[in-house]
Structure 1
């Protein structure tokens, strides 16, 4: 069967229109003519007859087999247009439109946190990412995505897997770049006993890891895994959320600062460990609200130990079940809200009935962003502009900031 790809789907598949509906083809680009075998709504064993001018040679030697990156075969310009269009389309679906700023994309080899899959083998250990749509594990010694500091940690990670992994069950390794060395969280490993604890602690020391958490237990703490946010040094709990790249974090922060402008009192909703709250506290009084008590405790400690900040009030509160009410925004001059992928439907409804003059909304999901944006617009806010930030390079993920004004 021969078809012509018309567009990209939200997961990066090429899509053509068939007689009975859309046909999906992995790894193809708009305008390409391809031939393959149709099974259901997917074309398999696809061969490119006419390539797109936007097709490029993947920069990574693992691109054909590894499922960690979806879009290395596409030019940066095509990916930028596709990601921007995904946000525009989500807004249009809610009847909303706004000016878009040029996308900001993180460079290669800057991902400072990653979750690797691993398995103990007869000869040692295998660590990498899964093949696309498969449980097959692909080693990635030449990965062009993750930060060199994470790749340099591979020998230590392999030793952890040899000691505490299984040949029948995968181990998950969440690794985060930190001052003091990589911060590692392991799940799926062997149950801990005294001998294994000693061996794991030895690996942490020998390979310069900062902290090792095995399931929910801190096995070894060689150095506090510090993250720098503005002028503050934060010691986050194991596995705490952190923006994927330093470039992406900086781009989001600068955009949020521009969106808010000079403010006297800011509420930071879903504040995490203080990505926005701590830098903003240099010039504004902050009320930081976060549902995870451990993360808000880390933020609070960092604020108290940083000189020159305006007052920072920290509150542990489940904003899904108990959002801030409109009267709690009295005297607040700006809000930054950065919810998880599900968005913040309940909190946004309350925010929409407040008198806050300006809101910077950060999102990792265009669909829930558009839904929540509509709530604000219907209540009298105007979406002035949108900034797309691509810190998940070569993936289908996207982040964005929208500026809303009364």
Structure 2
């Protein structure tokens, strides 16, 4: 380890400040462009110790757990709480612009749709049992140390208010000193908690946890590695007037406002399409909305998610027909022949993107495509394939739903 003073010239794609050293870039968390910082450096990573010059864009972080002086250590849940709103939003929009430029795509990128504090409806924390009780929070950046979370300004208040209840539940179920994960989701009927990576839980521990859950208020379901322990109420979400019962461990968009903004862009673009394919459909975030105006073919590999979508569609009023197909789109993308009667497509893949599927879109005659992505780099790659295949990029809108992080969603609209 060495100590030195560096000048930060940019914020990188992972949210760390970047300084130039004689051997290349040095990554320094919690810093901003123009700042002069004394750091303790190990290889190409530095931890700030003191500032001789600070940026006028620096603001006081709203959470006491944030930063090198955070209580209990620097919580790794956020990386950019110290940056003022406008430059922070410009940075996130810039991530999308830079990714597109790297693939030779020059287009106007809309202003970032902002995320507000207290909107995050799902978080995954880390827990460990200690001699002093349960530690529940987020891992300190770059370490395995868990920072006990007492407040969390990104999360919905109903999650924060019940963290003590979650600690009681996992205290009853856990054993040993190995860390495990706790996925907490806010639903219309209460919290949906899925505890992951636990060692074998015996009947006595299950009963003790069950007694706690039934006494605590505000829990819809508690599962262990996707196996339901108890479900006082079905965890429900509403997708534009359609109620969906979530399977344990199912994916949901991180905030309701961001989901609604993305869905509005997608549905508006495909409003005149008679038959739409919704790929990587999940539990129906887009499919159920699109079915208000179009017949929808929903394709998803996760069987429980697809079953939840199908159940919701069958019990909803005022929808056009929704057909479902379980299919691994990475191994078996829809072919042009499969798309013969489809005139609009939406897709929202994992971070890896939809490269194989986009090659098939490029060979098809589908008129309109709405691409939703959580990774600007793979989105740019996929858009390059579609543009080279004859599609015209109409718009790109970045959307923030992971507040004070370096992650950014985007919706890109294309047509032939």
Q: Which TM class, normalised by the smaller chain length?
A: over 0.9
Alpha-carbon displacement from aligned partner over 1:364-399 (angstroms, at most 9, x marks no partner)? 011111111110000111111110001000011110
Verify the 8 A CA contact 1:385 1:402 in the aligned structure 2: yes
Unaligned runs of 5+ in 2: 68-73
Q: Report the CA distance between 1:340 and its aligned residue.
A: 0.5
Verify the 8 A CA contact 2:195 2:225 in the aligned structure 1: yes
| Alignment correspondent of 2:191 | 182
Q: Say if 1:123 and 1:2 are closer, same or farther in 2 by CA, change over 3 A.
A: closer
Q: Report the CA distance between 1:348 and its aligned residue.
A: 0.9
1:30 to 30, 33, 36: 33
2:113 to 104, 107, 122: 104
2:385 to 337, 352, 375: 375
Q: Confirm whether residue 394 of structure 1 aligns to residue 404 of structure 2.
A: yes
Verify the 8 A CA contact 1:228 1:234 in the aligned structure 2: yes
Alpha-carbon displacement from aligned partner over 1:222-247 (angstroms, at most 9, x marks no partner)? 11111111121111210100000111
Q: Report the CA distance between 1:261 and its aligned residue.
A: 3.6
For normalisation by structure 1, the TM-score amounts to 0.96
Distance 1:202 1:181 in 2: 17
SS in 1 for 2:266: helix
Distance 1:306 1:36 in 2: 58
> How do 1:277-296 and structure 2 match up within 5 A?
277-296=287-306
Unaligned runs of 5+ in 1: none
| Alignment correspondent of 2:53 | 50
Verify the 8 A CA contact 1:169 1:188 in the aligned structure 2: no
Distance 2:171 2:46 in 1: 40
Q: Confirm whether residue 263 of structure 1 aligns to residue 273 of structure 2.
A: yes
> How do 1:153-192 and structure 2 match up within 5 A?
153-192=162-201
Verify the 8 A CA contact 1:25 1:46 in the aligned structure 2: no
Q: Report the CA distance between 1:185 and its aligned residue.
A: 0.6
Q: Report the CA distance between 1:35 and its aligned residue.
A: 3.0
Q: Report the CA distance between 1:38 and its aligned residue.
A: 4.4
More displaced 10-residue stretch of structure 1: 330-339 or 29-38: 29-38
For normalisation by structure 2, the TM-score amounts to 0.94
Q: Confirm whether residue 2 of structure 1 aligns to residue 5 of structure 2.
A: yes
Distance 1:304 1:215 in 2: 28
| Alignment correspondent of 1:16 | 19
Matched pairs, number: 406
| Alignment correspondent of 2:154 | 145
Runs of 4+ in 1 over 4 A off after TM superposition: none
2:102 to 69, 93, 100: 93
Q: Report the CA distance between 1:314 and its aligned residue.
A: 1.0
Q: Say if 1:46 and 1:217 are closer, same or farther in 2 by CA, change over 3 A.
A: same
| Alignment correspondent of 2:237 | 227
